[in-house]
Amino acid sequence: MSEDIRPSLGLRPVINVSGTMTSLGASIAVPEAVAAVQKIMPQFVEMNDLQRKAGDIIARLTGAEAGFITASCSSGISLAVAGTITGTDLLAVERLPEVRIAKKEVLVQVGHMVNYGAPVDQAIRLAGATVVPIGQATSTHRFHLENAITENTAAAVYVVSHHVVDYGLLHLSEFVEICHARGVPVIVDAASEYDLRGFLETGADIALYSGHKFLGGPTSGIVAGKKELVRHAYLQNLGIGRGMKVGKESIFGVMAALEAWETRDHEGIRAREAGYLDLWKATLSGRLGVNPVIDPDPTNNPLDRLKVIIDPAEARITAWDLAAALAAGDPPIIVRDHEAEHHYFYLDPCNLHPGQEAIVARRLGEELDKAQRSNAIIATPIEELSRHRFDGLLSWPD
C-alpha cells in the first residue's frame, strides 16, 4: 500500500467494509490503471480516436458491437436514453432536455425505481424522457409491460442491483422478449456487476457499467452495446453529455483496468476474501446476541459478505448503533448498513488493504465488549436516524 495521504489532508483514515460505494471513493484502483493515468496525463490526444480505441477493448470484453467511456454509469443511463430519443438528429441533441419528439417514453419496473445515491428515474428524466412506471413495487407481470408499450415508447430500462426488489418482477430474458417483440430497445444498468457479457448475451441492446467499482479504474462509466444505439448515445456529447464528459486519463485508465480484468487472479482474490470472512465470523461467533452468517451476493456476483445479525437484548446494542460506533471509532470502520433497521449489517471484504481485516476484527470486539459493559441497552430510536440522516449534508461545507 502506498503512503497514506489522508492525514495530511485532514481526512479520516476510514476502512471500507461497505463495498464499492461512491460515497467512499468506490474502490482501490488497480496498479495498471494508476500507471495508465500517469502515462497519458502529460500527452495530448484526439479524444474521439481515443474513444474508438476504448471501444475496441469494450467490444472484446463485453461482446458488444461498440462502446465508449463516460463520466459514470448514471451518465450512461442519461446518454443511452437520450440516444433512443434523438437518434442522429443533431438539433434534437442540442435541444435536450426539451423534447419536441412524441416518442420519448421510457418504461421501468416500479421495483427497479431505486435510489443509488440519486433516483434512477432522475437519470432518465435528465435526458428529457417521460418515465412510465410499470407494475407495482413487488410485482410486474407480462401484461403490465405489454400494455405499457405504445407508439411513443422510446426505450425500456432494466436495473441490476442489490437495491432492487429481488422477487415478483420480470426476469431480464422475459423483459427483453416482450420489448423486442414491439421493437423497443432495452438498456441495462449493471453498474456494480462482474458479468461483462451476460446481459448483452441475454438480449439487452445496451449494457452500462461503472469503470470505478469492481473493475478498479478511475471514476467513469462504460456504455456497451449495439453500434447504432451506442453511436446515438455518443452523439449526446454535443449536448447534455458535455456536462458528463470524461478526461483522457479516465478513458485510458479504464482501458487499462479492462485489460487487467482479463488477467486478474479472480480465484486468488476470492480465496483471500474468504479468509477475511472466516476471521470475522470466528471473531463474532459465540458472542451474546451476535449471529454472523456468510451470505452470497444477491445479484450473483462471485463474492460473499458477512451478515452480522444483532439481537439488541443480548448484545446490548442495536445493529445501527454498532455501525455508528464503528464509524466513529479509531480507526473509522464503515460497514454496509443500508438495512440496519432489520437488525443486521454486512461486512464486505472487497476493498481492504492487507492487515486491515485484523483491524476490523479487533474493532468489532472492542465495540461489542463496550456494549456488554453498558448499564443500559444502547438503542437510539430508529426514527432519530431518519430525522437526522441529511443533517451533515444540509450543513455542508460547515
- Residue 175, pLDDT > 70, answer yes
Closest by Cα among 223, 199, 221 to 210: 221
What single-letter amino acid sits at 119?
P
User: Is residue 240 over pLDDT 60?
Assistant: yes
- Indicate the range of 17-21, 289-293, 320-324 predicted with least confidence: 17-21
pLDDT digit string, tens, across residues 72-87? 999 999 999 999 999 9
- Decide if 379 contacts 317 (C-beta within 8 A): yes
Taking residues 363-368, what's their average pLDDT? 94
Contact 12/332 with Cβ under 8 angstroms? Answer: yes
Boundary residue ending a domain (229, 263, 297) = 263
User: Any idea which of 214-218, 366-370, 384-388 has the lowest mean pLDDT?
Assistant: 384-388
Domain ends where: 228, 263, 298? 263
Inform me whether the pLDDT recorded for 241 exceeds 60.
yes
Q: What distance in Å separates the CA atoms of residue 52 and residue 243, rounded to the nearest whole number? A: 20
pLDDT at 388: 85
240 shares a domain with 101 = yes
> Do 251 and 319 fall into the same domain?
no
Q: How far apart are CA 237 and CA 247, in angstroms?
A: 13
Is there a single domain that holds both residue 290 and residue 185? no
In a domain, 398, yes or no: no
Residues 6+ positions from 163 with CB-CB distance below 8 Å:
114, 115, 116, 338
Mean pLDDT calculated for residue range 144-157: 97
In a domain, 148, yes or no: yes
Q: Are residues 120 and 192 in the same domain?
A: yes
Cβ-Cβ contacts under 8 Å for 280 (sequence gap 6 or more):
292, 306, 347, 357, 360, 361, 364
| Tens-place pLDDT, residues 374-385 | 889 988 998 888
6-10, 82-86, 213-217, 373-377: range with highest mean pLDDT: 82-86
Task: Indicate the average pLDDT of the chain.
Answer: 92
Residue 124 in this model has a pLDDT that exceeds 60:
yes
Q: What is the pLDDT of residue 271?
A: 92
- The region that residue 233 occupies, defined by phi over 0 for left and psi between -120 and 50 for alpha, beta otherwise, is alpha
Q: Is residue 233 located within the same domain as residue 271?
A: no
Strand partners, 204: none
Q: Under DSSP, is residue 44 helix (H, G, I), strand (E, B) or coil?
A: coil
> Is 83 within the bounds of a domain?
yes
Element (H, E) at 109: strand 105-109
Closest CA to 123 of 165, 91, 170, 155: 155
Buried b (16+ CB within 10 A) or exposed e, 338-373: eebeebbbbbbbbbbeeebbeebbebbeebbeebee
pLDDT band at 2 (very low <50, low <70, confident <90, very high): low
pLDDT at 28: 86
Same domain, 312 and 361: yes
Residues 341 and 230 in one domain: no
Q: Are residues 178 and 283 in the same domain?
A: no
Is the domain of 78 the same as that of 201? yes
| Residue finishing a domain among 263, 284, 316 | 263
pLDDT band per the 50, 70, 90 thresholds, residue 200: very high
The three state secondary structure string of 362-395 is HHHHHHHHHHHCCCCCECCCHHHHHHHCCHHHHC
Give the chain's domain count.
2
What does the pLDDT read at residue 222?
Answer: 95
Predicted pLDDT of residue 382: 86
Q: Please give the average per-residue pLDDT across 316-338, as a whole number.
A: 92
More confident residue, 335 or 375: 335
User: Coil, strand, or helix at residue 328?
Assistant: helix
Quick check: 70 and 246 in contact, CB under 8 A? yes
Domain match, 176 and 56 both: yes
251 and 122 in one domain?
Answer: yes
Q: What is the pLDDT of residue 391?
A: 80
On whether residue 354 sits in a domain, the answer given is yes
% pLDDT > 70, the chain: 99
Full domain range(s) for residue 61: 31-263
Residue 43 lies in a domain: yes
The mean per-residue pLDDT over the stretch 321-339 comes to 92
Q: What percent of the chain is modeled with pLDDT above 90?
A: 74
- Reported as half-sphere exposure (CB side, CA atoms, 13 A), residue 59 has a value of 12
Listed residue (331, 330, 333) closest to 322, CA to CA: 333
**pTM of this prediction?**
0.90
157 closest CA partner among 88, 78, 90, 210: 78
The mean pLDDT of 219-223, rounded to a whole number, is 94
Longest dimension (CA), the chain: 69
Return the higher-pLDDT residue of 192 and 88. Answer: 88
Distance CA 337, CA 23 (A): 13
d(CA 223, CA 228): 12
What's residue 166's pLDDT?
83
CATH number at residue 281: 3.90.1150.180
> What are 283-300's pLDDT values in tens digits?
999 999 999 999 998 888
Report yes or no on 1 lying in a domain.
Answer: no
- Using one digit for the tens of pLDDT, what is the confidence trace for 85-115? 999 999 999 999 999 999 999 999 999 999 8
What pLDDT score does 1 carry? 56
In a shared domain, residues 206 and 102: yes
Distance CA 231, CA 352 (A): 38
- Evaluate whether residue 330 is within a structural domain: yes
**Interior CA angle at 72 toward 66 and 73, to 5°?**
65
Q: Is residue 145 part of a domain?
A: yes
CATH number of domain containing 107: 3.40.640.10
